[in-house]
Amino acid sequence: MSTDPTPRPHATAEEVAAARHDRKLANVLYHDWEAASYDDKWSISYDERCITYAADRFRHAVDDHGGDDRWPYGRALELGCGTGFFLLNLMQAGLTARGSVTDLSPGMVAAALRNAENLGLDVDGRVADAEQIPYDDATFDVVVGHAVLHHIPDLDRAFREVLRVLKPGGRFVFAGEPTRLGDRYARLLGGLTWKATTAVTRLPALRGWRRPQTELDESSRAAALEAVVDVHTFDPAELEALARAAGAADVRVVTEELTAAMLGWPVRTFEAAVPPDKLGFGWAMFAYRSWLRLSWLDEHVLARVVPRAWFYNALITGTRPA
């Protein structure tokens, strides 16, 4: 596979049709397509808000609320880095001083390297498949990923590769993976929100709230690819078993976000269905503060009484046996 991080142009309708039968090609097309607007779409930033969010995910996974685990780690690798959201923010939080970002999508690797350069971080990048990591055995002290496992067809192979490139005793942390049940209610609520918003904005009085048809068509093409790039959803116990079978030790899956996800998915879908200039700073603050309140409720109340499989996000950690 090429290691040249040159982005591809937008996908054509023919490429989209071909990618329906090839999950990896679909991932490259879809994420190359998304790379330029990805940070805006997912409200990704490289300031205190996302630094805290990324560090909290890592610590939640390793159950390290005191914050001392083994920070700072030595060399770190990210799989499926996207624009660099997870590792670059973890580096800013002090996880490590030296990072390597990898992704199947050249457009994403280029975006992550640009972000790293703007932040003044020591990061190198390669276009790489997580099932075939282009680094030597025992290179890294920590391997991380966010929202990537559910895109990888052969997870057994990917976990074996992670363990191979980790030093003995090294740790992996993957966060932001959809649970089986969480994915069902998120898709249902998102789908209903999309239908309701696009129907209501056909009314003459609400025409100004309707996105141009070309943009709605592009969203539909993106949704068709999205259905191909999302390969897995996870039952927490099955995910633990998968990592153990690949040879990992100290494996643990925790989950988070129940009511926060039930709010978050309709909000994100609504934001995608209307013109961006209709929703100002007030809306963004309302959505963010509501999400924070519901996340608190999920973490401090519901996590004590609701089974872990019901929450939307799964986080997994484990180590390479020493």
Ligand X SMILES: C[S@@+](CC[C@H](N)C(=O)[O-])C[C@H]1O[C@@H](n2cnc3c(N)ncnc32)[C@H](O)[C@@H]1O
Q: Which residues bind ligand X (CB under 6 A)?
A: 27, 31, 79-82, 85-86, 103-105, 108, 129-131, 146-148, 151-152, 176
Report how far apart, in Å, the C-alpha atoms of 145 and of each of 23, 57, 71, 95, 297 are.
19, 11, 17, 14, 26
Closest CA to 258 of 225, 306, 219: 306
The residue with its CB nearest to ligand X is 82
Of 130 and 189, nearer to ligand X (C-beta) is 130
Q: How far is the CB of 6 from ligand X (least distance, A)?
A: 15
Q: How far is the CB of 312 from ligand X (least distance, A)?
A: 14
**CA–CA gap between residue 33 and residue 16 (Å, rounded):** 11
- CA dihedral sign, ordered 157, 162, 166, 168: negative
- Residue 37 · residue 229 · CB < 8 Å: no
Q: How far is the CB of 200 from ligand X (least distance, A)?
A: 29
- Residue 173 · residue 251 · CB < 8 Å: no
Q: How far is the CB of 247 from ligand X (least distance, A)?
A: 19
Residue for token digits 């009511």? 259
- What are the helix and strand counts (H, E) for the chain? 13, 7
Of 82 and 99, nearer to ligand X (C-beta) is 82
Of 152 and 225, nearer to ligand X (C-beta) is 152
Of 133 and 248, nearer to ligand X (C-beta) is 133
Q: In terms of residues, how long is the chain?
A: 322
Of 210 and 264, nearer to ligand X (C-beta) is 264
Q: How far is the CB of 37 from ligand X (least distance, A)?
A: 12
